[in-house]
Structure 1
Amino acid sequence: MKLLYISISGNTRSFVKRLAIYAEDAHKSNQSLPLFELKEISENSQFEVEDEKFVTFVPTYLEGGNGVDNGDTEILTEVMREYLDYEDNYKNCLGVIGSGNKNFNYQYCLTAKQYSETFNFPLLADFELRGNSADLERIYNVLKKLAVN
């Protein structure tokens, strides 16, 4: 299964790489369990048509404010939105997993929530900052169910 992600501070990159290792370890003991192909989207990425199913990981970077009546404008990660829009790539997206900082209250994972609404795919899960071992296991199990279906 392909995992597309964007990482500004390195937190999302760290998480998806650890998730791929977690999947490799699980796959060693059970060959039917999925492996993940990682694809980082950045300002320098060449846009391609995604013709296979994938999951998107996106952190939240917004202009200041409370996320309700102001401060709900995505910044820094717009290239992922553009990539999903490109040639209707979003149609092969099984869902989005968001990351953020819970200190920002309503803004926590707001970008992922906005993607879910804009592109009409589910918000599958969330994790804070770089995530922890419980997040790895929980999100792996979500992805494993998607890979089986």
Structure 2
Amino acid sequence: MAPSITLVYISLSGNTQSFVKRLKAYLESKTSLPIKTINVKDLVKEQEDFFAMTDYYVAFLPTYLEGGNGLDSGDVEILTTPLRDFIAFADNYRYCYGIVGSGNKNFNNQYCLTAKQYSEAFGFPMLDDFELRGLTDDVERIGEKILKLYAAA
């Protein structure tokens, strides 16, 4: 089986999905490796079972929190927990190169906090971040990081 680049994400407002779609197009222009995307929200919506990953992947996570300030008063992840469940399922975290967070910088210390929490909880790095739908520079920067990860494998 030929290796492929796999992007696993959850998108609620469409921002992360837009970013992943543009990132996929960028990666396809830079490599002959197939690019696979998995939207965990679709698995949940279609009541499909999670599955064990056999390929390495990069995860993408928007920030949705309730309460707290990102420093000392706690917070609760809302709406994005299916991605956490997928990463935890069958030890899928072992195949995760790292996570890319997104959010709104207006939320100060809570910006990308969920991705930082996943990084700590699962022991993989937070690779990068982007705001809202991301800019072309974000797509290119993160795309190059992903290409380096797969080239080193």
TM-score, L = length of structure 2: 0.89
* Counterpart position of 2:151: 148
| Correspondence list, 1:7-26, <5 A | 7-26=11-30
Counterparts of 1:72 and 1:19, CA distance in 2: 30
Out of 121, 132, 147, the position equivalent to 1:129 is: 132
* Counterpart position of 1:48: 51
Matched to 2:36, the amino acid is E
Deviation at 1:136, TM superposition (A): 0.7
* Counterpart position of 1:39: 38
SS at structure 1 position matched to 2:134:
coil
Matched to 2:20, the amino acid is V
Which consecutive residues of structure 2, in runs of 5 or more, have no partner in the other structure? none
RMSD: 1.2
Counterparts of 2:23 and 2:29, CA distance in 1: 10
Q: Which runs of 4+ in 1 moved over 3 A?
A: none
- The count of aligned residue pairs is 144
Counterparts of 2:128 and 2:119, CA distance in 1: 11
* Counterpart position of 1:5: 9
* Sequence identity (%): 53
Q: Is 1:65 matched with 2:68?
A: yes
TM-score, L = length of structure 1: 0.92
Q: Note if contact 1:20-1:35 (Cα within 8 Å) is conserved in structure 2.
A: no
Matched to 2:26, the amino acid is Y
Counterparts of 2:89 and 2:122, CA distance in 1: 12
Matched to 1:17, the amino acid is K
Which consecutive residues of structure 1, in runs of 5 or more, have no partner in the other structure? none
Matched to 2:102, the amino acid is S
Deviation at 1:140, TM superposition (A): 0.5
Counterparts of 2:77 and 2:54, CA distance in 1: 26
Offset from partner CA, 1:55-87 (integer Å, 9 cap, x none): 100000000331222352111000110111111
Deviation at 1:48, TM superposition (A): 0.5
